Structure 1
Amino acid sequence: MPTVEELYRNYGILADATEQVGQHKDAYQVILDGVKGGTKEKRLAAQFIPKFFKHFPELADSAINAQLDLCEDEDVSIRRQAIKELPQFATGENLPRVADILTQLLQTDDSAEFNLVNNALLSIFKMDAKGTLGGLFSQILQGEDIVRERAIKFLSTKLKTLPDEVLTKEVEELILTESKKVLEDVTGEEFVLFMKILSGLKSLQTVSGRQQLVELVAEQADLEQTFNPSDPDCVDRLLQCTRQAVPLFSKNVHSTRFVTYFCEQVLPNLGTLTTPVEGLDIQLEVLKLLAEMSSFCGDMEKLETNLRKLFDKLLEYMPLPPEEAENGENAGNEEPKLQFSYVECLLYSFHQLGRKLPDFLTAKLNAEKLKDFKIRLQYFARGLQVYIRQLRLALQGKTDLCWDTVTLSWKPVQKVEIGQKRASEDTTSGSPPKKSSAGPKRDARQIYNPPSGKYSSNLGNFNYGERFRLGTRNMRD
């Protein structure tokens, strides 16, 4: 094993050789042997090995393996030095291997090391984005769970920081291709992260790009299969996928396939839905999503049939007025409950879909059913009077209201200037990530997110060790 003095002497030989440095293979071998020494020798080796690496291609494997040994040393200062120098090995065909090594090193729990690994990955990303992606996706597809998790999070947070000259069209196509492979077997949390990655790509922010993403989500949601309302994983998967699709819908990217599935498969089973999330009003969550999607529904094959299903479900939440006794008082013990949120969602969905069949109420319903609906509607309207009075008081003196816009109560009101188009409609971290909490997260709209982790059919202990698949949806053991 070389001493510190021998390492410096051989370093001097290589440094003084200038253009003839490649002729001093023995001197470089001495430096490689420095990884077998003590702390001081290893620190010097961590700096000297990468400095002359490119001059000795025949020793490339030995040099990379030596540096990797230093990256795994017990001494944290040696590890940090070795990691910092890794990008110097990312030349030519060695770059994917270096990317693979750096991706594995993301599993470190040392915040300084984690920072260095992130910086090193970003550095080689700018050298060769495709080669770096090869290493990252190799670990995402085949690596340990902790490496896979952090590699995905790296992509979801760092890709958006890269300049356009790095994220070229070809690079984005590679990201999409590799992501589709991963999406064949993902957890719910991973699926959300990949949708974040893909929706951030410039090439997928066009109309055709968003349509491609919607089709990808629809495939993940497994809309071709019969819906199982008693399976919490099935329900959770559908809601999770639908939430990812909702922001993609527009007047040019239709929600028809999702709305049809909700009307035909979910609405008839609304009362039997199950969810692993305690305290979640799963029925209201479903109706909110349906309402939000209904605005962008295109031509539907079974429109009249699905309107009837919506209408019948609406009647369930619009009770008949209680019967009156001879003295004019209610014959029942209590007033029926008016579930305003449910009715709002169903009425809005019915209104949006009904515009395509404007004579549905008058021509498609018999007189008795229409009369029954009017009675329920009048009773429900009376229950709203107190709220209407309060609303009128709140609106007194207000002149900047947009009366021609019908929107949903939980959606923020946005002023739209004349001529303003939907953004992108037709245009072409400092420490290791912390584990997310088990409870649902909520954004500004208070939309439910399922617990982080892996889907599981074993709800007794909610084992997150399984992923849902496309096609057969077999669970991983």
Structure 2
Amino acid sequence: MATANADAAEVERLYELGDRLSSAKDKSQHAADYEAIIASVKGQNVKAKQLAAQLIPRYFRSFPALGTFAMEAMFDLVEMEELAIRIQAIRGFPLLGKDAEFISKIADILGQLLTSGTAFLLSFLSSNVKCGYASQVLSCISEENVERDAVHKALMSLIRQDVKNSLQPLFKHVESGSEIREKIICFLRDKVFPVKAELLKPQAEMERYITDLIKKSVQDVTGLEFKLFMDFLRSLSIFGDTAPRESFQELIEIIQAQADLDAQFDVSDIDHIERWTSCIYMALPIFTRGASSSKFLNYFAKQIVPVFDKVHLALGETKVGPRDDLGMLRIISHLGKDPTSDQNPHHHGMEIAVLWVAAQAGRSHGGAARGEAHGAELGDGSNPNSGPLVWKETNRTRGGGVEWIPEEKKLDLLKTVAASSPYAVAQDSRQLLPSVVQLLKKYMPGKKVDDINHNYVECLLYTFHHLAHKTPNTTNSLCGYKIVTGQPSDRLGEDFSEHYKDFIERLTGTEDTVRAASKRLTQGMADFNKAISSAKTEEEKTKIKADQQKSTMTMRSYNNILAMSQPLHGKSPLFIGDKKITLSWMEQPKKPAASTAGGKRTQPASNGNAPLNKKGRGDGGMHNQLVNRAFEGLPRGGGRGSGRGRGRGGRGRGWGYR
């Protein structure tokens, strides 16, 4: 009873101190009252501490000499076990932030509080190792959500007061790789980035400021995190449609640094392969704005092509960790088990704690998403040694045996080069062409065979056309052509007839193989509709439709190969340098509406030297619609000045996410 009376008296005293400060005209004369309020934080009275958490921020600006003392008291309050005290202190922090001196420190503390609920639950579970605490865990989760929302609101209020000094400490955590970096990235993604128009004023100055923060922060990030930051940068006006070319080149340099193009290519590093392909895909829209693709293409020619067939992958290991919200439900179900069913309840309690923390990390931008990106396989708990939730990382480089890299990884490399080839300048095209021709000769048979790797050949032919369009006479020494540009590099006095004979034989063998394969595929595709009609279950229909779609893409690839190989038979061939060919895996353009107007289509010229032959060697005329459409309005592949293209000129965290 005496303790209760003392607590009530303490609360009443604080109310009196607050009323006195509120009514005072010159509050600076009542410094002793404010000091008494601050001192109450050191006591044991919970209600008094909660009231102090309200009063300290309210009169903070009236006592600048006591600012540090008051700030330390607020920091003590947010570390209290009682949720009500922590919430009240968090809500009061923005009032303290009205003094610029303390804004960075407050933002740093609030950033650290983003993980406070997780840490509290870990402490709770480690000290309550027996099972059967499902209701307590649910209560903890609810409390964490309340506290997290309070932190989010306080941080946003602080950021609106002073964007620079508030964001700088948050990005510092991302840059330094601290344990709270993923929570902060999640906060930036969900709360800050969507309201950039409101926060970044004056626009040009603040967009430049946050760009510099991001450039420092992306030195060690996951693929998903890097894409998040790059998408945000591209949404800024300083990198918009009207931005100068230098701005787009700045974006490319950020991507180049992430791709680690200055490092030696390591054939055993699957992460580097995924990083390289993901980065160049990310760079493609920026190449169209005038940024240079030189470093990527040169890296491919010098580092990757020589070891293209030697890249391998270390077998993955298993690791414990949940993938999504299902993880939380499974953890709670494990908490409800009979405690006697576990031989080691302490181990079980700690395992649950670790799993829950991992589940929360998975909600951030790099946790579970990274597991999924690496081929995560969620276990069902049937393995007694695996724990209730297990995924297997199948794509990371780890210890163990070695197997060859899956074909899709090699194909990714070729796809990225093909997609970027239209933006290569003449100098880069000249350097890359020998490597492309080398790979073409490897994957194009010299005679008809049962089948070819049509995806590889499609990518390489597409790349060959676009590079050769920029520097046509380079193909004279590589393929034995006779393209005249009037430059010494034409090398017309040299004999490359053997190169020409070999290249044409490979083209012919490839065409014969593709036509035969296309004929077989056409016959098989006619049966898909019948198979779908006769399918008894939805699963069967889904599988048949997937096979049908795959066959359709294969047919597109065959058609593209024929469309691109046909113009290459002449001594002065026609190189495709526009968008007439759409690669099979890309979104297909919609067919234009039929038009009754217009005259007869004219025959395109061939490098300004000779008319295009209607037929190549063998029986292959331009017999399909796609081939005819591909030849409409083809640009010249040679002539003086035709070599200019449309373009101009520390790894740490796991990458693959595409």
Which TM-score tier does this pair reach, normalised by the shorter chain? 0.7 to 0.9
Give runs of aligned pairs for residues 203-214 of structure 1, distance below 5 A. Answer: 203-205=238-240, 206=243, 207-214=245-252
Q: Provide the rounded CA distance (Å) in 1 between the counterparts of 2:591 and 2:49.
A: 63
Q: Provide the rounded CA distance (Å) in 1 between the counterparts of 2:191 and 2:46.
A: 34
Secondary structure, aligned partner of 1:179: helix
Q: Partner of 2:109 in structure 1?
A: 101
Whether 2:160 is the aligned partner of 1:126: answer yes
Offset, 1:132: 0.7
Q: 1:416 to 1:113 in 2, by over 3 A?
A: farther
After TM superposition, the structure 1 stretch with the greater mean CA deviation from structure 2, 378-387 or 3-12, is 378-387
Whether 2:54 is the aligned partner of 1:34: answer no
Offset, 1:74: 0.4
From 23, 30, 40, the equivalent of 1:24 is: 30
Give runs of aligned pairs for residues 392-471 of structure 1, distance below 5 A. Answer: 405-413=580-588, 454-455=653-654
| Counterpart code for 1:33 | A
Offset, 1:125: 1.2
Q: Partner of 2:191 in structure 1?
A: 158
Secondary structure, aligned partner of 1:300: helix
Secondary structure, aligned partner of 1:101: helix
Q: Provide the rounded CA distance (Å) in 2 between the counterparts of 1:300 and 1:404.
A: 21
Whether 2:509 is the aligned partner of 1:376: answer yes
Secondary structure, aligned partner of 1:355: helix
Offset, 1:58: 0.9
From 277, 289, 295, the equivalent of 2:422 is: 295
Q: Partner of 2:95 in structure 1?
A: 88
Q: Provide the rounded CA distance (Å) in 1 between the counterparts of 2:194 and 2:452.
A: 49
Contact 1:100 1:138 in 2 (8 A): no
Q: 1:235 to 1:158 in 2, by over 3 A?
A: same
Secondary structure, aligned partner of 2:508: helix
Offset, 1:88: 0.8
Give runs of aligned pairs for residues 240-255 of structure 1, distance below 5 A. Answer: 240-255=278-293
Q: Provide the rounded CA distance (Å) in 1 between the counterparts of 2:418 and 2:654.
A: 26
Q: Partner of 2:217 in structure 1?
A: 182
Offset, 1:51: 0.9
Q: Provide the rounded CA distance (Å) in 2 between the counterparts of 1:30 and 1:386.
A: 90
Q: 1:274 to 1:77 in 2, by over 3 A?
A: farther
Contact 1:236 1:275 in 2 (8 A): no
Offset, 1:282: 1.1
Q: Provide the rounded CA distance (Å) in 2 between the counterparts of 1:310 and 1:162.
A: 46
Q: Partner of 1:312 in structure 2?
A: 438
Q: Provide the rounded CA distance (Å) in 1 between the counterparts of 2:589 and 2:155.
A: 40
Q: 1:258 to 1:170 in 2, by over 3 A?
A: same
Whether 2:15 is the aligned partner of 1:15: answer no
Contact 1:287 1:346 in 2 (8 A): yes
Contact 1:140 1:152 in 2 (8 A): yes
Q: Provide the rounded CA distance (Å) in 2 between the counterparts of 1:68 and 1:286.
A: 52
| Counterpart code for 1:64 | M
From 215, 229, 232, the equivalent of 1:194 is: 229
| Counterpart code for 1:384 | S
Q: Provide the rounded CA distance (Å) in 1 between the counterparts of 2:62 and 2:289.
A: 59
From 148, 161, 181, the equivalent of 1:148 is: 181
Q: 1:209 to 1:95 in 2, by over 3 A?
A: same
Offset, 1:337: 3.5
Q: Normalising to structure 1: TM-score of the pair?
A: 0.75
Whether 2:306 is the aligned partner of 1:268: answer yes
Contact 2:297 2:432 in 1 (8 A): no
Contact 1:43 1:81 in 2 (8 A): yes
Q: Provide the rounded CA distance (Å) in 2 between the counterparts of 1:348 and 1:386.
A: 24
| Counterpart code for 1:314 | L
Name stretches of at least 5 consecutive residues in structure 1 with no aligned partner.
Answer: 323-334, 395-402, 418-452, 457-477
Q: Provide the rounded CA distance (Å) in 1 between the counterparts of 2:177 and 2:80.
A: 21
CA deviation digits over 1:192-238, x for unaligned, max 9?
Answer: 44323433332233343221010122133232333222333433332
Q: 1:354 to 1:102 in 2, by over 3 A?
A: same
Whether 2:345 is the aligned partner of 1:218: answer no
After TM superposition, the structure 1 stretch with the greater mean CA deviation from structure 2, 370-379 or 341-350, is 370-379
Q: Partner of 2:4 in structure 1?
A: none
Offset, 1:12: 0.8
Q: Provide the rounded CA distance (Å) in 2 between the counterparts of 1:414 and 1:4.
A: 73
Contact 1:11 1:48 in 2 (8 A): yes
Q: 1:454 to 1:252 in 2, by over 3 A?
A: closer
Q: Provide the rounded CA distance (Å) in 2 between the counterparts of 1:23 and 1:239.
A: 67
Larger gyration radius, structure 1 or structure 2: 2
Q: Normalising to structure 2: TM-score of the pair?
A: 0.56
Q: Partner of 1:447 in structure 2?
A: none
Contact 2:107 2:166 in 1 (8 A): yes
CA deviation digits over 1:266-292, x for unaligned, max 9?
Answer: 123221123465375210111111111
Q: 1:72 to 1:389 in 2, by over 3 A?
A: same
Whether 2:172 is the aligned partner of 1:138: answer yes
CA deviation digits over 1:230-257, x for unaligned, max 9?
Answer: 3334333323433332332215223232
From 463, 467, 482, the equivalent of 1:349 is: 463
Whether 2:10 is the aligned partner of 1:3: answer yes
Whether 2:236 is the aligned partner of 1:61: answer no
Q: Partner of 1:436 in structure 2?
A: none
Offset, 1:15: 1.2
Q: Partner of 1:385 in structure 2?
A: 519
Offset, 1:189: 4.8
The percentage of aligned residue pairs carrying the same residue is 32
Q: Partner of 1:339 in structure 2?
A: 453
Q: Provide the rounded CA distance (Å) in 1 between the counterparts of 2:431 and 2:424.
A: 15
Name stretches of at least 5 consecutive residues in structure 2 with no aligned partner.
Answer: 1-6, 118-143, 315-373, 375-393, 396-405, 483-495, 530-551, 553-577, 593-651
Contact 2:267 2:311 in 1 (8 A): yes
Q: Provide the rounded CA distance (Å) in 2 between the counterparts of 1:177 and 1:63.
A: 33
Q: Provide the rounded CA distance (Å) in 2 between the counterparts of 1:126 and 1:32.
A: 27
Residue-pair matches, total: 399
Q: Provide the rounded CA distance (Å) in 2 between the counterparts of 1:232 and 1:286.
A: 12
Q: Provide the rounded CA distance (Å) in 2 between the counterparts of 1:203 and 1:117.
A: 31
Q: Provide the rounded CA distance (Å) in 2 between the counterparts of 1:353 and 1:340.
A: 20
